[in-house]
Each structure stands twice: as C-alpha cells, then as structure tokens.
Amino acid sequence: MSKITNVKAKVYNWKGPIQKIHENFCTNAADLVNQDNISNDRWSTYKFLSWLVVEVETSDGHIGIGNAALSPKPCKSVVDNYLKPAIIGESIWDYEHIWQKMYRQTLAWGRKGVGMTAISAVDIAIWDALGKTVKQPVFKLLGGKTKSKLPCYASKLYSQPLDTLAKEAKDYLDQGFKAMKLRLGWGPNDGAEGMRKNIELIRTVRSVVGEDIDLMADVYMGWTFEYAKRMMRLIDNENLRWLEEPVIADDIDGYADLKASCRTPISGGEHEYNLFGFRQLLEKKAIDVVQFDTNRVGGITQAHKICALAEAFQIPVIPHAGQVHNFHISMSSINAPIVEYFPFWPVEIGNELFWYIFDGEPQAKDGYIELDETKPGLGIELSDKYLSDFDIEI
C-alpha cells in the first residue's frame, strides 16, 4: 500500500524579466479603489509572479506534483502547518478520506480562498502520485477519454492598441485556433467612452477572425452590476460565446439577474470554491458556463464531483486556465467541450509561469490539445531550464 511519507511545499518566486503591460490591460475587481494613492499598477494585486509547488512523497518511491498560483506564501504555511501533519501516513488510495480530513480540520477558516487553494495543491499531487503508482495517466483513473483530443481556445488578447490586437488575433487564427478570448479594459470609472472602447476591442478581433470563430470576452470581476447591465445592451449584439466574470464573485444574485436578462451567455466560477459553492451557483441559475480552476476549487477530487453536478444541470464545464491538471479533468468529462489555453509568452502577470516551472505541459496544435497516454500521472515534471530566474523558498 502506497502511503504518504512526506509533503514538501516550495514557493517559486520569479526574478527574471517582466514584460510591461499596456494601459487598460484588463479590468479587475480592484479598479474601483486601486487609484494613485494605492498603486499606479492596477494589476499589482492580481499578478501571479510566485507559484506554489507541492510534492507528495510515497512509501513506494513516487513523488506526486501539485501546484497553486493564488497566494502561494500563505498557502505554503497552510500546507506546512496544517495539511502535512494531517496526512502523513495515509494511503494515497484513500484520497476521499484525505480530502475530507484536510477540509474538515481547516473548515473554520479554510473552506474558501487560501485554505482551499492549499488543499487543491496537495490533492493534485496525490492524484499525480496515484497515476505514477499504477503507471496510468490521471484521466484514465477518472473514467478515461471522452474525446480523442481536446479542442482549445487561445486565451490572451489583452486590451491594447487596436492594430496590435488585430495582429495577435490573426496569429492565433493562422495557428489553427477555432476559438479565442479577449479581455475588456474599461469599467465603471471610464463611463460611456469606456463602453465604446470595449465594443471596439470586440469588433476589432471579430473583423479579423470572422463569424466562424468562437469569440469570448473576460472582465475579471471589473464591473459593477449597474455598469454590467448597461454594457450587456451593447454586447448582446456582438455574438460572443460567453462573457466572463462580469461582476464580483460574491454577487451570485447579480450573475443570476444578468443571465436571465441578457442573450449573451454568462460564465463564472474561477473564484468559487468546492462543491457547495457550485451547488449554489447552479441552483440559482447564475451561470451558463462553469469555470472552476482545479488548483483552487479543491483539487481533482472536488473538480471531478463538480463536473458531475454540472452535467446534471446541463451546464458545460470549461475550467479556468490551461495547465495539465485541468486538461485531465476535461478529458474525462463528457460535459467539458473545450479547454482554455495560455500560449507560451514572456512573463507579464504570471499566468505564464506554468511554462517556466514545469516540463511536459501539452502544447496546442491546430486548435487542439492531446494528452500522452504513455505518461503516468499528470505527465509533468519540474523543469531546471529556468531555475536561475527563480528564488525558491523551501
């Protein structure tokens, strides 16, 4: 029986070059308060320039790798001080028991946010170890393939001058992507002029890719409910596959109102946690697309359950972010029609760091991702290619 003998949590802090972002790069929830007296960088509190890596060592010599991008330093403390002592000696095959133990022993303060993110990283590592133990990819342990390969959409197209935005969209079109997502850069502080500029972004990309390409837009919780209602009157004419996170994650009734009153599908869940959080979203008919992130929502153990729950409501699951832990979930679910794909890119806000920390992340080809059935576990390992660009806290 494969038992957990050690749990190591490391924080990878990027110290390499950082590409400067454009003005109005993308809205976010802090725009209403993040003025000059706080920070000139409107994205300063939403960058992921550090990353948590968790290694679960087993009695039969395997090392499972998990990760999380949100608040890595506090998450490391949670792993070291709470989760590790709780699970040493447990069999990795008792993953449900392990998950419930981590969850219930930290419930008073950890059921969402930092606590659940730390649990996610450990749980992902356990599933990676499970796959390595039986020499099978994780998706095989979750039910196997539901599709031969994963359709994926290019996810970048941050707000920028219209000519360079058009060029970037053309690049993705030439690479074979049949879907792509852009970010809208203006919110309530920008008034009617900002609303017009948001529509210009959408129409610029549409003019390049045509009507046969799915186009989505992300707001990253940057609008108020009132502003979102005004914007949706315009966006409803633009044939988007969905609009993502139009209001803050806690405004579930606002999501439900927008979903009921607008023609454009509404997506969300990137900042929601665990099975109970998604039960509430689905029962309130708040979203048209479920977008949990496996390394936030509670790991693979919870993500697999949420996929089944969403399937019963006939709401598709399209996880937030690329990253191979999400790909394995999507491959094993009939209810996951497409995946997000962050292209390799110079480091800007930190979503790119997955490419710099790990080897084995699948690369898109002609708009699809393929998972290698010969690679056990998640199919990734820690890379040493960019080690000199990181400070690593052990």
Give the side-chain half-sphere CA count within 13 A for 26.
24
Please tell me the distance from the alpha carbon of residue 281 to that of residue 313, in angstroms, as a whole number.
Answer: 11
Strand arrangement, sheet containing 50-58: 63-68, 50-58, 4-14, 390-393
Give catalytic status of residue 62 as yes or no. Answer: no
Q: Nearest-CA neighbor of 83 among 112, 67, 58, 104?
A: 104
Give the whole-angstrom CA distance, residue 52 versus residue 70: 8
Contact 201, 178 (CB under 8 A): no
Whether 24 contacts 162, CB under 8 Å: no
Neighbour-count burial of 85, counting CB atoms closer than 10 A to its CB (0-12 exposed, 13-18 middle, 19+ buried)? exposed
Distance CA 336, CA 318 (A): 6
Catalytic member of 62, 271, 304, 320? 320
Catalytic residues: 320
